[in-house]
Homo-oligomer: A and B are copies of this chain.
């Protein structure tokens, strides 16, 4: 193996594939990054995998000799990031160590043979769905946070991706709240339903955000398009020079469509930022974990949010426009704040029935986002 490439491009590629390096494995090979020099295509491909996710990304390189090897992801990243800008030269010597050269700097790193590195066959081509990076990022941002993070909860640690009639729907829930987001997608018309781990979805979201940061420089030749192809056990996501394969979760997802209340007696329209700020402030005193909550008192054209703890109290009011009865209802503050961060609209709707029924949050316009949250039962004493 012998090639040269640019330090800047290596860093960009490392930012992407590092998301696939296993954090808690005892297998050294999964803590590594595979480097593959492909003379024919004039490319070097970096690959990382924790078995659940598999990420490969290519960069331009002048390859004198093809070859492949695995090196420690941490040391490799640390070294590349600290190098000066410019060309970096790679070669493997007889003892199987990788030599890295840049200016007067040189380093040799222990190499690991690639035999035991995970191998994933990528599917590309037909049968795939197309959407924009920004769209996938919004879908993930709007839903993945709501998936359960308790590993024992099985299927609800996953995020459902439902492709049907030119619409891609993502849904996640944890037993206390549920988030559903829909976006148009181009491609096949046949229904595809799959479940991907919430943890992996969040990693995907971070890769997409990193991509965004990387595209405003001079070599911004990246396309906005993402292709998603579904296999039997894995889903394949490709964009620009990056291919990602993610293991699908097995099982039947909750029929989320049935949970959303059809009728809502009380309809409240409120400024999103004002509500988010109020919820943030009311949540300062409220400790996570305890059965504590923030209280919404909706009366006429005013929403009063209060909180109470041993250390003190808070109270704040927001002007709303309301249809229906007055209502008092309690929530876990985080469960109201989190979805609001994923809504770009200025105004939102909160739809209620009773103080013991779930509340539905939606942007004022459109039905692209729906968030359902269970209330906390208010104590009968107290304010």
Contact = CB atoms under 8 A, between A and B. Distances in A.
B314 A105 contact: yes
A110 B285 CA distance: 11
Contact of A312 (B82, B104, B109, B318): B109
Contact of A280 (B82, B277, B284, B315): B82
Interface residues of A, number: 31
A315 B107 contact: yes
A327 to B, nearest CB: 19
Contacts of A317: 104
A110 B312 contact: yes
B280 A312 contact: no
Interface string A306-336: 0000111111111000000000000000000
A105 B315 contact: yes
Contacts of A277: 82, 84
Contacts of A105: 278, 281, 314-316
Nearest to A75: B311
Given A84-B277, A277-B84, A318-B104, A109 B311 contact: yes
Contacts of A72: 311
Contacts of A284: 75, 78-79, 82
Contacts of A318: 104
Interface in A167-184: none
Given A97-B312, A280-B82, A312-B97, A75 B110 contact: no
Contacts of A5: none
A106 interface: yes
A277 B82 CA distance: 8
Contacts of A315: 105-107
A83 interface: yes
A281 B79 contact: yes
A108 interface: yes
Nearest to A79: B284
A278 B104 CA distance: 10
A107 B314 contact: yes
A83 B310 contact: no
Given A75-B284, A281-B82, A106 B314 contact: yes
Contact of A83 (B103, B108, B281): B281
Interface in A100-134: 103-110
Contacts of A110: 310-312
Nearest to A98: B312
Contacts of A285: 75, 107
A14 to B, nearest CB: 14
A312 B78 contact: no
B107 A75 contact: no
B75 A108 contact: no
A360 to B, nearest CB: 25
Contacts of A316: 103-106
Interface string A74-86: 0100110011100
Contacts of A313: 107-108
A371 to B, nearest CB: 23
Nearest to A318: B104
A75 B281 CA distance: 11
Interface of A: 72, 75, 78-79, 82-84, 97, 103-110, 277-278, 280-281, 284-285, 310-318
9 contacts: A75-B311, A78-B284, A79-B314, A97-B312, A104-B316, A104-B318, A106-B316, A109-B312, A110-B310
Given A79-B284, A110-B312, 14 more contacts: A75-B311, A75-B312, A78-B284, A79-B281, A82-B277, A84-B277, A105-B281, A105-B315, A105-B316, A106-B315, A106-B316, A107-B312, A108-B312, A110-B311
